[in-house]
Every structure is written in structure tokens, then in C-alpha cells.
Amino acid sequence: MLLKLSARGLRPLGACSEEPFLVRVVGSDAGAPGPHDALLDRSTEGPLPRGHRAYLLHHRRDVAALRDAYVLGAEHRYVGVGDVLRIDPARGVLTAVYRAGAATNSLLVTERCDNFCVMCSQPPNDLDDHARVEELERAIPLIASDAREIGITGGEPALLGPRLIRLVERLATHLPTTSVHILSNGRRFADPTFARALAAVAHPDLMVGIPLYADVADVHDYVVQARGAFDETVRGIVALKRAGVAVELRFVVHRETIEGLVSFARFVARNLTFVDHVALMALEPVGFARAHLDRLWIDPVDYGDALTEAVRWLDTAGLTVSIYNHPLCVLPAGLHRFARKSISDWKNLYLDACDGCARREACGGFFASATVRHSRAITPFSDP
Ligand code: SF4
């Protein structure tokens, strides 16, 4: 995920910049270098072409006359052509802002949040996000125009106010064919003016994903640890849809929400049929979810009946439904057609128990963090 794949150990060769800077990785066949191009070089000898902003080398070699030449450590071997990187020479840190080879990329735009969810995977931090957003604005034009999808996450992105609108405008300008998915708690969009401002960008492929954890205010407010949040979130959903912005509802299943799963689905099927997508998701055991795991964890194999009934309500109402983050073998067979491979590739794994499973290709597998807790019912399929 964006701004999270940092690793220490970038080794400078000779003179280098003092301030952090952004680059787009190019190969030696890229033609005349642009002002932000960093050459990725795997050779061991021979001259290197001049004029690149930086040089990322797989092997230590003589680069006496070149500024900003760095040897990549083993942890940087993922770096590929088309990636957008932040290089911090003073700290020897290289951070992936965008990875061309990844199925999904997200821009983490702020760590601030006005919710404090009991299972938050990215616990909030009250940090000034001004410099972070400015840097992301500079990074967007470096991303290849054929990027499929970019997420905007936090924290709560809507706390950026007009700066979020500006960021989406920038995405619309530089990457007009790239899908944009904003993950928001929806509360700020209860202000119809703000919802209309986002709609006014007229991004051709924009969706806001909004978690709603119950059909009852008390339960939702408890899960997000914010009184009045349910009311604002529902008003935000309505305001966005009224303004013409696509909305996805997200429901994370755990011990504090499972009891209300079916009534949530019934509520959505009766009152919110105008939303564009509903995602029913398993818990990712990181952040607060990991800290509270004993209180929150419920084995998916134990809520198969409730999940089936919830999906039936939503599907029958004509809603598009997806099940995220659930291994295929823990779901009742009737739900397999709703299961999606939803886990970002950089944190996706399969267990030793999956060896030889005939449906591995169709299965989304596990979060890397699932090594701390996973279903007792993992059973490889013998038939494809
Ligand atoms: S055993 Fe097969 S279906 Fe189950 S989690 Fe592993 S790959 Fe997925």
C-alpha cells in the first residue's frame, strides 16, 4: 500500500541530494530522460546514460560523475519500471508511492480520523498531513496513464476538505481512465455542499466506499467509537447519491457486528437500494483488530448461515453484493459466486494447508496477518 512499503538500507554512491524527492522508474530503453526519471540498472559494468534524476542500481559499480546513484538492497528488489518512488537520501529510505506491477495501489492521504473503530487496521494519528498531500499531488503526474485503479485511504480522507476535492481533480486531469475509490466513513459528506463539490469534479469513474456496521445507531456508534456517527454516515450516503456519486457500503463481520448482520442486510435492502455495491468483509487482524482479537474474532465457518441470509436479502433486492477477504473453503457453496479476490497482492498469502488445493486460483487466500488467527475449517478442494 502506498507510503507503507518503506524499507531502510538504500546505499548512496557518491554525491546525493539532501531533501527527499520523487522519481518515476524508467529502463535504459526509455529514450531521453525527463526531470523526474530514475534509471533502473541491472548491469555490472559499462557507461550509464547521463541526465537522469537518480540511478537505482542492482550492483555496486563506478559512477563517479553521477549524482544520486544508489545501490538497492535485497528488500528493494520489487522495484520495477513504472513505479513511482520517494527517495529520502538522508535517511537511506526508499518508499513505494505507486507500484506499476501491483493489482491495487492506494494513496494514504491522512492519518487523522474522527472515528476510532474497535477493529481499525490503520489506527489514527493526529498528524499534520499538509506536506503528505502536497507530495501526493506532485506524484500523481508521474503515474502511468494506463493505471487501472487507485484508492484514496486514511485515516479519514474527507477531513482534508477542499484538498480532497483538489486531489480528485488532479487524478481526473492526469489519469482520466483510472478508477478512483475513496475509502471514507462518510460523515463529512452529510454536508450536501461537500458532497456536491466532489460530484462537481465529474470524475468519470469514482466510487466512495463507506463502512456501515449496523442498522441501529447505537451499535454502529459503538463500533466506530463516535456518538452520532451513524446518523452522519447515513446522511452522507444519501447526500453523495443525491449528488450523483457512486457509493459502496462496507460491513466488516466480527463478534460486535455479527448479531446485526441479517438485520443490516434487511435495512439496506429496504432503505438503501440506491447504493451501487455492498461488500461483506472478514476482519483483517492488524492494528486495533489485532489488539482486540480475542474480543472480536469469530471463525467465518461459524457465521455461514447468517452470511447466506444477508446475501440473499441483498441479492434479492437487486443489489450488487461481494464477499471480501474470505477463503473459499470456509464459505457455504451457495456463496462462492459472490466471493472476490480482494486482498492486495503485497499482503496476500496462502497457508501450507492450501498446497494442492484445486481451487487456489479462484480463492482470495489470506491476509499475511492471518498467521495470528485463521479459520479452523481450511480444507483444500480436490475438484476444480
Ligand atoms: S484450501 Fe483452497 S479454498 Fe481453502 S483457503 Fe486454501 S486455497 Fe483457499
**C-alpha of residue 302 to centroid of ligand 1, in Å:** 17
d(CA 362, CA 381): 11
The pLDDT of 100-118, averaged and rounded, is 94
pLDDT > 70 in the chain, percent: 98
Coil, helix or strand at residue 301 = helix
Looking at 1-5, 94-98, 365-369, which range is the least confident one?
A: 1-5
Indicate the average pLDDT of the chain: 93
In tens, the pLDDT along 233-264 reads 999 999 999 999 999 999 999 999 999 999 99
Report in angstroms the alpha-carbon separations of 16 from 87, 89, 90, 137, 219: 11, 7, 9, 24, 54
- Predicted pLDDT of residue 7: 44
The pLDDT of 327-346, averaged and rounded, is 93
pTM: 0.92
Which residue owns the Cα nearest ligand 1 atom 1? Answer: 380
Q: Where does the pLDDT of residue 307 fall: very low under 50, low under 70, confident under 90, or very high at 90 and above?
A: very high
For 132, phi then psi, to 5°, come to: -60, -45
Residue 103 has pLDDT above 70, yes or no: yes
Q: Where does the pLDDT of residue 64 fall: very low under 50, low under 70, confident under 90, or very high at 90 and above?
A: confident
- Predicted pLDDT of residue 8: 52
In tens, the pLDDT along 180-218 reads 999 999 999 999 999 999 999 999 999 999 999 999 999
Q: Which atom of ligand 1 is nearest the CA belonging to 357?
A: 2
**C-alpha of residue 315 to centroid of ligand 1, in Å:** 25
Q: Is the beta carbon of 182 within 6 A of some atom in ligand 1? A: no
Looking at 87-96, 195-204, 236-245, 340-349, which range is the least confident one?
A: 340-349
Give the architecture (CATH level 2) of 105-372.
Alpha-Beta Barrel (3.20)
Given ligand 1 and candidates 341, 357, 367, 374, which is best to mutate, with the most ligand atoms within 8 Å of its CB?
357
Q: Going along the chain, which residue ranges are E strands?
A: 7-8, 11-13, 21-26, 37-41, 54-57, 69-71, 84-88, 93-98, 105-108, 149-153, 179-183, 206-211, 246-253, 277-282, 321-324, 348-349, 366-367
The string of DSSP letters for 146-186 reads T--EEEEESS-GGGGTHHHHHHHHHHHHH-TTSEEEEE--S
d(CA 319, CA 178): 24
Q: For the chain, what are the domain ranges?
A: 7-98, 105-372
